[in-house]
Amino acid sequence: MSTEQITVDDLSELRELIRTSPEASSLREIGLREIVSGPGAIATLPQILLRLGIDASARITVFSDLTPKRYHDADVLDVVLDLVVRSNNKIEHVCIAREKEGAIVLADELTVASAIDAVTRTSPQALVSVGSGTVVDIGKVIANELSLTHVVVQTAASVNGFADDQSVLLISGVKRTTPSRWPDALIVDPDVVAHAPLPMTRSGLGDQLSMFSASADWYLSDAVGFDTSFSPTLVTMMRRDLDQLVKVSSDLGRGDPEAVGVLASCLTRGGIAMGVAGRTAPSSGTEHLISHLLEMHADAFHVPSASHGSQVGVASVVAAIIWQRVRERLLSGDAEVSAENVASRMDVLSAFAHLDPSGALAEECWAAYERKSTWTHLHLDDIRRIVSEWSTNDEKVDGLLKPAAFVTSMLKDARAPVSFSQLDPAPGPEVVQWALTKGHLMRDRFCVMDLAVLIGAWNADDVTAVLSELDKLAS
């Protein structure tokens, strides 16, 4: 096999960019040692392990799910197992547990604990995770718990969570970002990721498009003083290949390997940005809140939900519309911050009570929201100042956001869902209404939805108006 097109990126250029940035003191180092990409990259797994100090005598455990994944005429998992066996390593295979045949795999406490147990019993020196979002999120937790060298074989360009040290887990039924561990190496082989089912690639584009509303939310949170970690360097880094991504968006929709490679590399940089920022804020704002609520609702009622990225894509259009409406209101000078609009404990508990009769889920949300509400009550003057001096902030936000029509056209080019009714499966209209209305109550991050609520611009009529604008864009 030709190795000419395989790139081993030791990330020295990005490390230097981060080290020399004005925000360097608040950024963390990239823990990922290398990204190996290009056609045939997967075949270099033995060399990658050797570079990481894992020699042929080491015991290696491969962690995956049961979903077949194609690599030319073979299955990706078989290829990985065969490569490790041929390099004489002792190998074990641990498969993610499912409650029952056909059940959806959730990264909940039970699944994570049983995966850690199963891998512990194999006493490996290194872990190779083969899969997409959930498998890799759990793999990073296992590698962290057992201090294992960890190589990730990414099997789809479906989310941006491969290249960072955080995992999204389900804690008491609530989606929570939990610190885990950077993979040591990431393998992105277009012959693997481009053969993932097309809806997964389209989901990846949806997750990627969160970068506009998320970075504007991150800026807002910094401006009001809630989270002062906003980094222009990381935002610029994440947008480096944006023009190229726009150019290939229609090729993405048919799984063109080069186009999927561009998307995968954008997603990788999004992951690195989150890891370096030490939080998911660079890629997770209002749009992720909406998606998290839709997923939590489906999980609570044991029904399948549409893929994470496909929801985030639609919700990114929604977030762009919300931002536009809030900016217009702020620029009109007709916006007043009212402490009465901050939700109470009863508001939060009743927003989530129907998802969990034990009350644990609602309490988990309140525990997070309480920190934000306490802060808000103490900093009303800071928020009022930002509102009254909005025009200077608006220029900054304008440079971070893209219009809803832009986000829509990229999704349409890739034939990805644009409206909630186009999601597969589609959440009911009342669930969508609930997710939009209550999204800001699930965690302690300040975003445009919080500001909209504070200025009284997020009532039932506003939600209906946003949804009807979304429908117009989608048609």
Question: Which residues in this chain contact Zn ion in the complex, by CB under 5 A?
Answer: 207
Q: Which is nearer to Zn ion, 173 or 282 (CB)?
A: 282
Secondary structure of residue 343 in the 3-state scheme: coil
**Using omega within 30 degrees of 0 as the cis cutoff, is the peptide bond preceding 425 cis?**
yes
CA distance 210 to 190: 23
Q: Please compute, for residue 19, the number of CA atoms within 13 A of its CA located in the half-sphere on the CB side.
A: 8
Residue 40 Ramachandran class (φ > 0 left, ψ -120 to 50 alpha, else beta): left
Minimal distance, residue 184 CB to Zn ion, in Å: 23
Minimal distance, residue 217 CB to Zn ion, in Å: 13
CA distance 188 to 331: 44
Q: Which is nearer to Zn ion, 129 or 208 (CB)?
A: 208
**Angle (CA) 351 452 297, round 5°:** 30
Of 227, 314, 238, 220, nearest to 274 (Cα)?
238
Q: Token digits for 105? A: 């795999």
Q: Which is nearer to Zn ion, 214 or 404 (CB)?
A: 214
Minimal distance, residue 130 CB to Zn ion, in Å: 20
Decide: 272 and 14 in contact? Cβ < 8 Å. Answer: yes
Q: Token digits for 475? A: 């048609």
Q: Token digits for 415? A: 């034939």
- Using the CB atoms, write b or e for 354-380: b if 16+ within 10 Å: ebbeeeebbbbbbebbeebbebbeeee
Q: Which is nearer to Zn ion, 207 or 227 (CB)?
A: 207
Q: Which is nearer to Zn ion, 184 or 207 (CB)?
A: 207
Minimal distance, residue 63 CB to Zn ion, in Å: 21
Q: Which is nearer to Zn ion, 44 or 291 (CB)?
A: 291
Q: Which is nearer to Zn ion, 292 or 440 (CB)?
A: 292
Decide: 337 and 455 in contact? Cβ < 8 Å. Answer: yes
Phi, psi at residue 95, to the nearest 5°? -105, 140
Decide: 262 and 156 in contact? Cβ < 8 Å. Answer: no
Cα 61 from chain centroid?
A: 26
Q: Token digits for 466? A: 């946003």
Minimal distance, residue 351 CB to Zn ion, in Å: 22
CA distance 447 to 315: 14
Minimal distance, residue 266 CB to Zn ion, in Å: 13
Rg of the chain on CA atoms, in Å: 22
Minimal distance, residue 435 CB to Zn ion, in Å: 15
Minimal distance, residue 367 CB to Zn ion, in Å: 22
Q: Which is nearer to Zn ion, 137 or 207 (CB)?
A: 207
Q: Which is nearer to Zn ion, 81 or 263 (CB)?
A: 263
Decide: 165 and 180 in contact? Cβ < 8 Å. Answer: yes
Minimal distance, residue 167 CB to Zn ion, in Å: 12
Q: Which is nearer to Zn ion, 48 or 449 (CB)?
A: 449
Q: Token digits for 339? A: 């402490």
Minimal distance, residue 377 CB to Zn ion, in Å: 30
Residue closest to Zn ion (Cβ):
207
